[in-house]
Structure 1
Amino acid sequence: MIIDDPLLAALAGTGLAAPDDVRAVRHLPGRALCSQVGLADGRLLFVKRARPGRPAVTGEAGVVRAVNALPGTAAIAPELLAVDVAGSAAVYRGYQDWRTLTGWPDVGPDVVGAIGAALARLHAVRPGTHPIDGIAPTGPFGRPTLDWAAVTPAALAAFPSGFREVWARAAATHTIVDRLAARWRPSALIHGDVKHDNVVADGGRVVLLDWETAGWGDPLWDLGSLVGNLVQLWLHTLRLTPGGTLESWLSGAPVPLDELRSRVRAALSGYGPLTPADRGLVAAHAGVFLLQRALAAGLLAERLDAPGVLTAHLAAQLLTDPDRTAPMLL
């Protein structure tokens, strides 16, 4: 096993463990500079190191510390153990016996209901109701800018054809995304990056990971992300045979559409009552989530695959007609 020196140095800088205390290291796929570290005394740690061009881990650690200190929000965020003296790494408690959500089978009604309930407790924290230092307003959709949705025609030519395909398919949604961004208000404390791989679960309890994008924002974005993520996971259960159509793929779905609908409704039931207008906005924000994922897939592809095409199609449907789509899904 090779343990990189920067990780050991960061861990030593927290005072939690010396290099000789480390027995195992597992770098987490899909999480840059994040590692699970096993110690000789049996403890499991989650270490997150700073990345160039990304928010400092000290800022995220401060948000997590504040969330865990607030009444009603304890245990929504991971347990922060220490930040190294250089501010380059934060160490959290590891969740060795908790379930990591990796796909559709892991996001059952108990889990999505618990995520919805956790978000309701988080969103109950409003600006001015609690003295929270270090928490700032977020940009629309949890981003500081809308750079992913504001590509000029000249810049678009430099993108892979997969991205351009998504962009063309979503042409009717561009003004809608702009309108959603314009109505964004920092009205509640939000996580900003709700998706299955940012959650660990133990029965009906959940902890949300990765608080880089947390701040004051629109709570409907968190809900829309949760719904959009469920739709995306469900899409990956479909058998997208070559030459098939949306109707044929749905008719032969291993997981019926009704099951997707029941998961979405379990999530919203855990959250609590929503007005009809809010349900339409949740559907629209789910469309933004799916559009982001389709564009990200397009950045890595010269030709969009079937899941990417379907993701872009559903993103456009949710954004262009959320009031009709919401009753079907929510």
Structure 2
Amino acid sequence: MILTRHNTALFLINNGLLDMGSLLANALAIRSHSQRNRGFSVLWPNGQGYYVKQHQPDAGPWEKRSSVAHEADMLQRLADRPGVPTLRFYDAWRQALVVDWLAATCSADERAVRAGLPDVSVAQVIGRALARLHQDLTGVPVQDLAGNPPWVIRLDRLYPLAGEDQSWGQAHLVALVQSLGECMDVLAQLAADWPREQLIHGDMKWQNCRLHGERCVFVDWEMADRGDPLWDVAGLCQSWLKDWIDRQPPASDAREAAWQASQGFVPYQRALAQVWRGYCQGLEATPDAERLLRLCGARLLQTLYEDLAGERDLGAGHTLLLQLARNLLVAPQTARHWLEDA
């Protein structure tokens, strides 16, 4: 069964998650949220409900071990842990999972910036919640997981060629970064000393943080693997840095864009400092701030690559983001005060 808005209710009925009486007595709202995989919210009038996700291959037959199958495995391992969604059902044959719809929460991208300015209290809440999550993940068995570094850290494995899976803009970016020996050296070192001791989320960003007061639930565990906890922190920092760049007015060239961006960075720097402060408050030892900043540079390269999907070349904003990523990779010491000056 390929799930659609029209048969998702039937899928829930067939698997005991929805009964005909409830279906007849209430008007259900079923909406599609499909992106990388199929996704559907099934909501009652009171806002309660389910989120259903099904594997959606790019082409050809289904993979035996899809990202949805992997997420279901992770959620089963993390059952009853705070900050993790509750897995209600998984159909291995159809590679479809069901979790509760987090009705009382909102996505962090709705609260992290208000009236054009970062909310530093939200930054600290998410930082603290991530520290608690990482502490809770330390005892999860991970020996069977690959522990591969994120793909962007192994950028040497990509070819600067445009094709069905890589736009001209993305190919241009790969060629540019591969021509920067200092950046490639840092990425190679990050790959060489990639830690594999504990489970991490692997795809941390505002959209995967659901907030309810001081509580945060982290969703979308498709990329979970054993790795560096600071990669998750870098994902959060990337969200603030990307929003800062995105809010800059149009500029005629990269020089003007850089000047304009510097004028509006102060409130974003405060948010980054609060993320770091909130995260470190929950840990026994303070992590390596410069390693975090290098990982932020790598995470920004990943974001830039994703933004260039379908683009023919880099614009002024893309160039500014690339320059920021390069600076963080090769000279993190110059940005360390971002994290230390609240």
TM over 0.5: yes
Deviation at 1:98, TM superposition (A): 1.6
> What are the equivalent positions in structure 2 for 1:50-129 lying under 5 Å apart?
50-52=55-57, 53=63, 55-69=66-80, 74-84=81-91, 86-102=93-109, 105=113, 108-125=119-136, 129=139
Between the aligned partners of 2:292 and 2:331, the Cα distance in structure 1 is 12
Show the counterpart of 2:60. none
Deviation at 1:165, TM superposition (A): 3.3
Q: 1:193 to 1:98 in 2, by over 3 A?
A: same
Deviation sequence 1:279-312 (CA, Å, 0-9, x none): 0000000011100111122232012233322221
Between the aligned partners of 2:46 and 2:311, the Cα distance in structure 1 is 45
Show the counterpart of 1:140. 149
Deviation at 1:116, TM superposition (A): 1.7
Asked whether the 8 Å contact 2:36–2:56 carries over to 1, the reply is: no
Asked whether the 8 Å contact 2:270–2:338 carries over to 1, the reply is: no
Show the counterpart of 1:240. 250
Identity %: 25
Deviation sequence 1:204-226 (CA, Å, 0-9, x none): 21111100111221111111121
Q: Which letter maps to 1:260?
A: Y
Task: Give unpaired runs (5+ residues) of structure 2.
Answer: 58-62
Show the counterpart of 2:32. 27
Q: 1:168 to 1:117 in 2, by over 3 A?
A: same
Asked whether the 8 Å contact 2:154–2:187 carries over to 1, the reply is: no
Asked whether the 8 Å contact 1:111–1:206 carries over to 2, the reply is: no
Between the aligned partners of 2:143 and 2:149, the Cα distance in structure 1 is 19
Asked whether the 8 Å contact 2:37–2:55 carries over to 1, the reply is: no
Asked whether the 8 Å contact 2:296–2:325 carries over to 1, the reply is: yes
Show the counterpart of 2:324. 314
Q: 1:42 to 1:122 in 2, by over 3 A?
A: closer
User: Residue 124 of structure 1: SS of its match in structure 2?
Assistant: helix
Deviation at 1:264, TM superposition (A): 0.8
Deviation at 1:47, TM superposition (A): 1.0
Question: Among residues 166, 173, 180, which one is paired with 1:166 in the alignment?
Answer: 173
Asked whether the 8 Å contact 2:258–2:320 carries over to 1, the reply is: no
> What are the equivalent positions in structure 2 for 1:201-280 lying under 5 Å apart?
201-243=211-253, 245-250=256-261, 253=263, 256-272=264-280, 278-280=288-290
- What TM-score comes out, normalization by structure 2 length? 0.80
Asked whether the 8 Å contact 1:162–1:299 carries over to 2, the reply is: yes
Between the aligned partners of 1:126 and 1:79, the Cα distance in structure 2 is 16
- CA-atom RMSD, angstroms? 3.1
Deviation sequence 1:16-75 (CA, Å, 0-9, x none): 015782721111264531121114786321111122257253431231232243xxxx32
Show the counterpart of 2:50. 45
Deviation at 1:121, TM superposition (A): 2.2
User: Residue 84 of structure 2: SS of its match in structure 1?
Assistant: coil
Deviation at 1:148, TM superposition (A): 5.1
Show the counterpart of 1:183. 193
- Point out 4+ residue stretches in structure 1 off by more than 6 angstroms: 274-277
Deviation at 1:92, TM superposition (A): 0.9
Between the aligned partners of 1:3 and 1:216, the Cα distance in structure 2 is 33
Task: Give unpaired runs (5+ residues) of structure 1.
Answer: none
Between the aligned partners of 2:67 and 2:7, the Cα distance in structure 1 is 16
Between the aligned partners of 1:167 and 1:100, the Cα distance in structure 2 is 32
Deviation at 1:162, TM superposition (A): 1.4
Asked whether the 8 Å contact 1:229–1:289 carries over to 2, the reply is: no
Q: 1:6 to 1:50 in 2, by over 3 A?
A: farther
Q: 1:3 to 1:186 in 2, by over 3 A?
A: closer
Asked whether the 8 Å contact 1:110–1:203 carries over to 2, the reply is: no
Q: Which letter maps to 1:27?
A: S
Between the aligned partners of 1:318 and 1:302, the Cα distance in structure 2 is 26
Deviation sequence 1:187-211 (CA, Å, 0-9, x none): 2221100001111111221111100
Question: Does structure 1 residue 303 correspond to structure 2 residue 320?
Answer: no
Q: Which letter maps to 2:205?
A: K
Q: Which letter maps to 2:147?
A: T
User: Residue 207 of structure 1: SS of its match in structure 2?
Assistant: strand
- What TM-score comes out, normalization by structure 1 length? 0.83
Between the aligned partners of 1:322 and 1:135, the Cα distance in structure 2 is 33
Show the counterpart of 1:196. 206
User: How many residues matched?
Assistant: 316
